[in-house]
Amino acid sequence: MSLPKGFLWGNSVSSMQYDGAQHEGGKGPSVYEHKPGAWEEAIDGYHRFREDNELMAEMGMNCLRFQTSWSRIMPEGEGEVNQEGLLYYENLADDLLANGIAPMVCLYHFDMPLALAEKYHGFASKHVVDAFVDYAKVVIDALAPKVKWWITFNEQNLYGLPMAFDIAGAPVPADPTAPEHEAEVYQIAHNVMVAHARVVNYLHGNYPDCKIGGMCAFTPVYPATPAPADVLAATQAERFGSWIVLDTCARGAYPSYYTAYLRHRGITLDMSAEEIAQIGCMRNDFSAISYYQSSCVSAGNLSDDVPACALGWVGGCKNPHVEANEWGWNIDATGYRRAITVIWERCGLPVFSLENGIGWREKLPEDGSAIADDYRISYHRDHIQALKDSVELDGAEVIGYLGWGLIDIPSSSGDIEKRYGAVYVDYAAQGADHLKRMPKKSFAWFRQAFSSNGEDLD
């Protein structure tokens, strides 16, 4: 067997895509109040988590990564704690444990409390860093006795990319890839790294049995051709798109390619000696990743004034050697193996794969049979095999494999048509059948794969 005993198999969700109950239990508003999508009810996990936990246990899962909503626990983002909101997550963790499922907590998944976005522009402000650390301490003190596994920020590398403004709760410029906004992106990324370091240090200092890591949405970047200019462009795009967070978390300091670039561009960030010290003494226990796709870059699409944080966006091109789904996400299991292996070799920390999956448009068959999602089975079979190859053939150390939204949830854009799950959630049904959970064909396959510790993938 290539995977160790105790390997973690499971699911990941975010609070705004899972919980629903946006105006129940004392929850305050987040920035998602103003975003279009199915956020009001999501899939009503707030009321249905016990049913879902039983389904996950039946599917052979032994781990769930859920997110605690900052504005459910602190309605204004700071100040008074909403005990009812905190109790919901305590009850969720207890029920997971009762079903033999290890809970894992993510503290932030893009849903900035609305008050902090409006008053301070989210993580563009040092004040919000302090508020986040206060919130994190409340959650840690309540849940650490029950929860071993932690991450601070979902896909933390995204705060160093042009999407940083939106996910950090800051005003979004008309063109976030423009050079005049580059320093603002890196300031947000630094503030988020400081928040991460302070939380890591608090958790380790007070709950030494808990494990925590920084998370990266890792996207391998291929050169459009073997031309040296394309290879260099791909290297730089991957560095600034994926590696900065992983390198910093592994070494406790910003990598030299990043600091040299800032000097070359004449960018001076607002960072104190105390902040650098917090980063320097943090110790991450694993490198966490999400993996969905690879990308491709052509130097011909780039000019000298394109910021490094935008190289992958501006320089992107189609890769003719891989297939893609309807939304243009490349299907590349080989890239997944490369990601795991290279992260392990470069960072020296065990890799924890926290998200992997494929979105697909699905409808219930008229004959009442289960959705035959063979494409999902094929996708996960290939990616789990790639993970096993990284362990058995490349020598990587991997903690676990969590799929994304294996119980259907709205996509990150609020679209309920793009589905990732092995369990269908019926948004269209009315009455008692509204949001009914129905296993798809892949449900039985996941049960077989997970229960066999990844050995039976047929």
Catalytic residue among 78, 182, 184, 355: 355
Task: Retrieve residue 1's tokens.
Answer: 């067997």
The pLDDT value recorded for residue 1 is 65
Are 177 and 307 in contact, with CB atoms under 8 Å apart?
Answer: yes
Strands 211-217 and 286-290 come out as parallel
3-state secondary structure of 399: strand
Question: How far is Cα 286 from Cα 344, in angstroms, rounded to an integer?
Answer: 9
CB 11, CB 406: distance < 8 Å: yes
Residue 417 annotated among the catalytic residues of the structure:
no
Compute how many other C-beta atoms are within 10 angstroms of the C-beta atom of residue 112.
Answer: 26
- Termini Cα distance of the chain: 15
Active-site residue, from 155, 182, 275, 362: 155
3-state class (DSSP) for residue 437? strand
Our answer to whether residue 155 is catalytic in this structure is yes
Mean pLDDT by 10 residues, the chain (458 residues): 92 98 97 92 97 98 98 98 98 98 98 98 98 98 98 98 98 96 98 98 98 98 98 98 98 98 98 98 98 98 96 96 94 98 98 97 94 98 98 98 97 90 96 97 98 97
Q: Which amino acid is at 429?
A: A
214 three-state secondary structure: strand
CA dihedral (392, 394, 395, 401) positive or negative: negative
pLDDT at 33: 86
User: Is the pTM for the entire model greater than 0.85?
Assistant: yes
**What's the gap between Cα 4 and its chain centre?**
24
Cα torsion 443, 328, 293, 200 to 10°: value is -90
* Domain 8-451 = CATH 3.20.20.80: yes
Q: How many residues does the chain have?
A: 458
CB 245 within 8 A of CB 160: yes
